[in-house]
Amino acid sequence: MKQNHLIDIRRYISTLLTKQWRHIRTKLRLIILFGLSLVIIAGCQSSSQISNSKVIKLTFWHGVNPPPNRDVVNKLIDKFNQTHPDIFVESLYVGQQDQQMPKILAAVVGNAPPDLLWYNPTIGGQLVELNALIPLDEMLAKSPVKSEIDPALFESMTYQGKIWSVPFATNNVGIFYRPSLFQAAGIQELPKIWSEFREVAKKLTRDLDGDGRIDQHGMFLPLGKGEFTVFTWLPFLWSGGGELVPENINTAAGVQLENNQGAIAALEFWRNLINDGSVQLSGPERGYETDAFVAGKVAMQITGPWTLGEMQSQGIDFGVFPIPMDKRPATSIGGENLYLFKTNPQRQQAAFTFAEYTLSQEFQTELALGTGYLPINLKARENPKYIEFTQKQPAVKVFLQQAQYGRSRPIFPGYNRVSENIGRAIESVILGKTTPSQALKASQQRLDLIFQS
């Protein structure tokens, strides 16, 4: 018995030592990886050093994706560096936007922000509240490029009466459709209003092989409560006559979801499409995927010009028409803005010089031709190169024409909480768990608790 007991003790000690060694090895690996990362970063920094000490070096954080689009942006930045010998902009890819947020906030709190940041406009209010940004009103007022910016984009640049960012690139959402499927269903005219769209979606929902099961749905809708769902649903709220906040109120606490007739109408419209059997839902939080549309399993999908390259590469027939309207035309404006952080007057002026370059006709034309983004510069849209591009791809014209009805998401602090609760309401209605009025009331109650406390 004693011998067995000793054997058990030895096994226990051996197991314990093994576990400790594994723990130590894990720590060592992390230390080594951290050390290597510091070496790599140091190497990158040293390689980007400019010998002339008079050159102002700026850091530009972004999440431009996919990589081919990133290559286009980096080439344009290289061109700026070559033509501005006194300024050097270092382009740093810091991950996708959900990955960027912790880095941005840590940099701001640690008083080590980048000079320039590429991010969607919804972050604007939060950065203003953190006192991290410089207002751009005075510098932009003196710049001739201000008059070339699409007027519809100023809403995304402005918070509490001041301009805090400039647009870098823009897009909006429309309805992509398969003309061959429309023709096969006998549909000759594109729908313009909600009732027409509902009927077209029904006709496009078909049992193609007669086995009693639907093989092709009329419409693809996003399932989930994430930002993509909210982004693609908001045009229906606005088209239904709704607003997120009353006029002249620009705070998250002012959001009105309960008894919002436009929001109720938009949710009822989506739910009616589902009740008709016309909809294929996406996987959870995967409403941006286009596989079903490309495969011909759905005939219509809400998306934007960022998918044009994919559609062309797939070699399928496709077209685009504007978001159908109820009371008024509307679409959601997407894209990213450029933010300038507080540093010192010399660096801030250099950062604005770069911002002016990104706003220019030259930059915007090349960016649009290379990525599919819509130019934010009005002169770029009239550039012969870009006009030729739009003639080859008629879908671009739809997004350009629809841009005049574009609306931006709010940029006040707390928008992320608002979006989350709108998403929860959309998801519960889509899944048939509650009515639009009940879902919006529940979301309003949660928001009231959040912002009143």
Query: Which pLDDT belongs to residue 52?
Result: 60
pLDDT at 6 over 80: no
Query: Per residue in 83-138, pLDDT tens?
Result: 999 999 999 998 876 677 788 989 998 999 999 999 989 899 999 999 999 999 99
Mean pLDDT, range 138-165, rounded to an integer: 94
Residue 452: exposed, middle, or buried by beta-carbon count in 10 A (0-12, 13-18, 19+)? exposed
How far apart are the C-alpha atoms of 423 and 418, rounded to whole Å? 9
Residue from 187, 184, 139 nearest 165 by CA: 139
Mean pLDDT of the chain: 87
Task: Give 331 or 53, the one with higher predicted confidence.
Answer: 331
Mean pLDDT, range 150-157, rounded to an integer: 90
| Separation of CA 366 from chain center | 21
Query: Per residue in 54-65, pLDDT tens?
Result: 899 999 999 888
Mean pLDDT, range 294-316, rounded to an integer: 90
For the whole model, what pTM was predicted? 0.78
Confidence tier at 372 by pLDDT (50, 70, 90): confident
Other C-beta atoms within 10 Å of 140: how many?
A: 18
Domains of the chain, CATH where assigned: 56-170+334-398 (3.40.190.10), 174-333+408-452 (3.40.190.10)
Query: Which pLDDT belongs to residue 387?
Result: 95
The string of DSSP letters for 205-251 reads: -B-SSSSSS--BBSEEEEESSSHHHHHHHHHHHHHTT--SS-TT--S
Query: Per residue in 172-188, pLDDT tens?
Result: 999 999 999 999 999 99
DSSP E strands, 290-359: 300-303, 319-321, 331-340
Residue 52: exposed, middle, or buried by beta-carbon count in 10 A (0-12, 13-18, 19+)? exposed
Query: Per residue in 231-278, pLDDT tens?
Result: 999 999 999 999 998 877 778 889 999 999 999 999 999 999 999 999
How far apart are the C-alpha atoms of 115 and 339, rounded to whole Å? 8
DSSP 8-state class, residue 301: E
Q: How far is the CA of 161 from the CAs of 39, 134, 352, 415, 416, in angstroms?
A: 45, 14, 20, 18, 21
* 436 in Cβ contact with 263 (< 8 Å): yes
Other C-beta atoms within 10 Å of 145: how many?
A: 18
Mean pLDDT, range 31-48, rounded to an integer: 37
Token code pair at residue 77:
């930045």
